[in-house]
Amino acid sequence: MKSFLFGCFKSQLPLKTPKKKIRDSTKNSGGSGFQRLSLSEFSSTPGSPLSLSANDISNSLLGSNLHIFTLQELQKITNNFSSSNFLGEGGFGAVHKGFIDDKMKPGLKAQPIAVKRLDLEGLQGHREWLAEVILLGQLRHPNLVKLIGYCCEDEHRVLVYEYMPRGSLENHLFRKYGAALPWGARMKIALGAAKGLAFLHDSEKPVIYRDFKTSNILLDADYTTKLSDFGLAKDGPEGDETHVSTRVMGTHGYAAPEYVMTGHLTAMSDVYSFGVVLLEILTGRRAVDKSRGPREHNLVEWARPQLNNPRKLDYIIDPRLDGQYSSKGAQKIAALAYQCLSHHPKPRPSMSNVVKILESLQNFNDMPIAPFVYIVPVETVKKELEKKEPEQKKENKDENRQTQRQNGQRHRIRTPRAKTGTVYTESNVRTHLKSRLSPDQKENQNKENQIKDESI
Ligand SMILES: Nc1ncnc2c1ncn2[C@@H]1O[C@H](COP(=O)(O)OP(=O)(O)OP(=O)(O)O)[C@@H](O)[C@H]1O
Ligand SMILES: [Mg+2]
């Protein structure tokens, strides 16, 4: 029972651009059953898998704790899928935020949720929905998004997930405005995603994820990473088999070259895609970016030759980090990405090895002092000043001017008239604090820094 959900095809499809996944458009291509589930139940169901009811599925997933929602319930939860609840849209439909109270379903606590409504487009859309329900209904891991339930009413196919407050890594890494994702968060995200993939690969019945990319990596408030979208996931090879033959599906820019060329799928295809995401994390560039010059369209082609040269590395690292990264960590990440992106699958590391390497890179602290900027809201400063007597205001102004002079204008203080508020930089604060340390304290601090450096 190897491919109930996805048939085996020798032909190839050209990869499509992100957001438009490559879909298997061949109807009724399924084989006998999906391995992880006792799929005999499904395959023995008369007619196509489309005829499966929510009850058929829930009977087969007994013990999975999935809740079955009605469309009416989901409409209520999402304010009728209103635009104000809209979170994003992918190749298979829109995602809306909702909130369930503790009275909605027995045993389900009050919580925010994300509701993905599939745009069915025939059998394939249904297969992907089913794969997600079956896999996430059975696999539980801290680095996989939790599926809370589903709706399978008439032609409607909906998935209900735990809500991930920071959305996808794609939103964070490539957004034009707002603060850049800090180096430490990037390392934590890479490790969490690697653990999720390693869990799938090392399961008793291994699963190949097949669609690893930044938009499928969701982030919790503390940057805990959770993989989502298992619609293209596939059982790994069994016994003596070295690969699974499939139609080429996935997202352009992330798929491994041997898989694109031959349709032979192995866990190493995921490792390649992981290498692409590592590069995106390192460079802040998209896997495919047509807005750049022709030589820079494809991230792997552009960056890979520069990964083994520490001097060239500075040139490709995300400029939005503004130098705030660990050089040693960046070199190791570059070397790891290089290995994952090997043209041939054999030299690529297993995901459990990737996890080990990333674990060792977590608390690298050979970072330049961050230029921390604290902006005091203008209103706060105004209120503070208004509380004080006019003479006191004058005194404050004089004092401020003096402080500015003492610090050589580096500790900038702006008056409430300035639109952006008051700015304090961390380096100024540190310089200020350092000048107050006794000689003994200074020596201790230097020693501490030395120890940290050696332990890396
Ligand atoms: N559980 C969730 N919590 C919060 N936001 C989510 C959740 N799931 C999805 N999203 C948001 O919805 C967006 C769309 O997700 P979706 O998986 O449908 O599409 P995609 O990953 O962008 O593209 P693709 O169809 O190629 O997977 C995501 O980018 C993310 O911002
Ligand atoms: Mg997705």
Superfamily of domain 181-359: Transferase(Phosphotransferase) domain 1 (1.10.510.10)
How confident is the model at residue 118, as a pLDDT? 86
CA 209 – ligand 1 centroid, Å: 16
Its sign, for the CA torsion 279, 356, 192, 2, is positive
The ligand that comes nearest to the alpha carbon of residue 147 is 1
How confident is the model at residue 186, as a pLDDT? 97
Residue ranges of alpha helices (H) inside 181-224 are 183-202
The rounded mean pLDDT for the chain is: 75
Report the percentage of the chain scoring pLDDT > 70.
65
Asked about 235 being catalytic, the answer comes back as no
- Residue pair 199/192 in contact (Cβ under 8 Å)? The answer is no
- pLDDT at position 291 over 70: yes
How confident is the model at residue 202, as a pLDDT? 94
Residue nearest to atom 20 of ligand 1 (CA): 90
- pLDDT at position 81 over 50: yes
- pLDDT at position 140 over 60: yes
Short-list 67, 68, 111, 74, CA closest to 96: 74
Q: Where does residue 91 fall: left (phi above 0), alpha (psi -120 to 50 degrees), or beta otherwise?
A: alpha
Report the percentage of the chain scoring pLDDT > 90.
47
Out of 102, 154, 211, 318, which one is annotated catalytic? 211
Q: Which two tokens stand for residue 432?
A: 């200020």
Strands (DSSP E) found in 10-155: 67-68, 86-90, 93-100, 111-117, 147-153
Short-list 282, 268, 254, CA closest to 190: 282
Cα gap 271→253, rounded to integer Å = 14
Higher pLDDT among residues 422 and 77, named by residue: 77
Residue nearest to atom 9 of ligand 1 (CA): 95
Cα gap 149→59, rounded to integer Å = 14
CB neighbour list of residue 43: distance below 8 Å, 6 or more residues apart = 1, 4, 32, 33
Q: Which two tokens stand for residue 384?
A: 């503070």
The DSSP code for 294 is G
Q: Which two tokens stand for residue 212?
A: 């690893």
pLDDT band for position 391 (50/70/90)? low
The ligand that comes nearest to the alpha carbon of residue 91 is 1
Work out the angle between the directed axes of helices 351-360 and 327-340 (0-180°, nearest 10).
170
Give the global pTM.
0.74
The ligand that comes nearest to the alpha carbon of residue 221 is 1
Q: State how far the alpha carbon of 136 is from the alpha carbons of 46, 133, 153, 227, in Å.
A: 25, 6, 20, 10
Q: What is the pLDDT of residues 188-228, one digit of tens each?
A: 999 999 999 999 999 988 999 999 999 999 999 999 999 99
Please compute the mean of the pLDDT values over residues 322-338 and round it to a whole number. 94
How confident is the model at residue 410, as a pLDDT? 29
Its sign, for the CA torsion 122, 69, 235, 217, is positive
Q: Which two tokens stand for residue 129?
A: 């929905």
379, HSE (Cβ side, Cα atoms, 13 Å): 0
Least confident piece of the model among 86-95, 234-243, 305-314, 398-407: 398-407
Residues touching ligand 1 (Cβ under 6 Å) are 19, 21, 87-92, 95, 114, 116, 145, 161, 163-164, 167-168, 170-171, 215-216, 218, 228-229
- pLDDT at position 402 over 60: no
CB neighbour list of residue 144: distance below 8 Å, 6 or more residues apart = 136, 196, 199, 226, 227, 228
State the pairing for strand pair 234-235/207-208. Answer: antiparallel
CA 215 – ligand 1 centroid, Å: 6
Give the bridge partners for 167, in sequence order: none
CA 145 – ligand 1 centroid, Å: 11
CB neighbour list of residue 446: distance below 8 Å, 6 or more residues apart = none
Cα gap 177→126, rounded to integer Å = 37
- pLDDT at position 160 over 60: yes
Residue that the structure tokens 């990440």 belong to: 333
Residue boundaries of the structural domains of the chain: 25-162, 181-359
Q: What is the pLDDT of residues 300-311, one digit of tens each?
A: 999 999 998 888
* CATH number of this structure's domain 25-162: 3.30.200.20
Q: State how far the alpha carbon of 418 is from the alpha carbons of 102, 379, 428, in Å.
A: 48, 11, 20
Selection from 3-7, 289-293, 411-415 with the highest mean pLDDT: 289-293
Residue nearest to atom 21 of ligand 1 (CA): 215
- pLDDT at position 381 over 70: no
Annotated binding site for ATP: 116
- Tell me if residue 220 falls in helix, strand or coil: coil
Q: Which two tokens stand for residue 356?
A: 């080990």
Atom index in ligand 1 nearest the CA of residue 90 equals 19
